[in-house]
Structure 1
Amino acid sequence: MIDRDRLLDVAEKCVGENGAISLTFGSLAAAAGLSKGTVQTIFVTRDNLLEALLTRWMDREKVRFEDEKAGVDTAEAHVLAHLKTTEQEDVEIGRTVLTMLAAIAENGRTSHVMKDWYQDRLRDLEADTPDARRQRIAYLAAEGAFLVRNVIGLKIEKDRWEEIFRDLRDLARSWPVID
């Protein structure tokens, strides 16, 4: 019996070393010491393989996110937890995830896993108060910073990255109403 998780471990290593574009059933089979047919039987399509890798990353990230929220379920806690986990995301992991998304999109598809993830994080982009609007702006700015760093490859030094996210956390925090 083939261990699907072990095969995903090998696939993660392949993507990390050579990028998602190089991940094929043949390359994964060779790295895992299996036949190409065996790998294809498990995942059926390359998109399914990439989706499985994305799901695995998102499951790990969701644990980090929930730990950061520490059981608090307010809109502010939600966005602050997202900002913290985005700030702490490893550059290479971020690039790998985005490369996998690009590989799926290459076939004209969108990852339903990522759509669901964003839907949960963005909470329908509702913002009917000034605090909610600032939180939405902070969230979207964090995503923009993540993309600029990981897709464009703009080098952002650690101190600057932390400063950006401090500013975003300050923006996202609810401000006291003064009468």
Structure 2
Amino acid sequence: MARPRTIDRDHLLTAAEAVVTGQGAAALSFASVAAEAGLSKASVQSAFGSRAALIDALIGRWMQHEADRFEAALEGAESPEARLSAHLRCTYDELHNGRGQRVATLLAILASEGQSSASVRRWYQERMGDLSAQSPEEKRRRTAFLAAEGAYFLRCIVGLEADPAIWAEIFAALDRP
């Protein structure tokens, strides 16, 4: 008797990212992921159960990957300035390595479908706290954090094009005390 084949969720998530990146958010379905992964639609459905669960898994995978990158960028430092600098480096890298558009699209799907955004809010709170600031330095860090997020969304969601040197200049200026 043949052993049942195990479905590789990571492979399916990679296929789902390829669908979103190549065909747009509206094309994300069990059928499109199955076609991209070379599996049956039933296999994808059995792995995730619903489109919402698939989207949650995509966001969760990105958030874990981003948390790992952030920890590596921190290099053991925990000061507020080090946290901001690590966030800026990670955000800048995200803009220039091809993942930014994919993640922005996934976040847009999440928001447009009325999905719970609790995990995204939690991600931001872990990254930068509640955004309260008392000292001038805390206020500068808050402004730099929000400016980086604004630049990210303008580039990835709005599609604002600029010379890579301009993006580098913007992020370098945000990272200055």
TM-score by length of 1: 0.89
Task: Tell me whether 31-40 or 121-130 shows the greater mean CA deviation.
Answer: 31-40
Could you tell me which of 5, 9, 15 is aligned with 1:4?
9
SS of residue in 2 equivalent to 1:62: helix
Summarize deviations over 1:65-122 as a string: whole Å, max 9, x none: 1111111011111111101111111453111111111112222224332221111112
Q: Percent identity?
A: 44
Give runs of aligned pairs for residues 55-134 of structure 1, distance below 5 A: 55-91=60-96, 92-134=98-140
Structure 1: runs of 5 or more not aligned: 174-179
Within the alignment, does 1:21 sit opposite 2:15 as a pair?
no
- Number of aligned pairs? 171
Corresponding residue number in structure 1 for 2:160: 154
Summarize deviations over 1:6-49 as a string: whole Å, max 9, x none: 11122122222112221101111122232222211211111111
Structure 2: runs of 5 or more not aligned: 1-5
Could you tell me which of 132, 143, 152 is aligned with 1:137?
143
Matched-pair contact (CA < 8 Å) for 2:144–2:175: yes
TM-score by length of 2: 0.90
C-alpha RMSD of matched pairs (Å): 1.4
Distance 1:120 1:152 in 2: 26
Summarize deviations over 1:122-166 as a string: whole Å, max 9, x none: 211121211111000000000011111111111121110111011
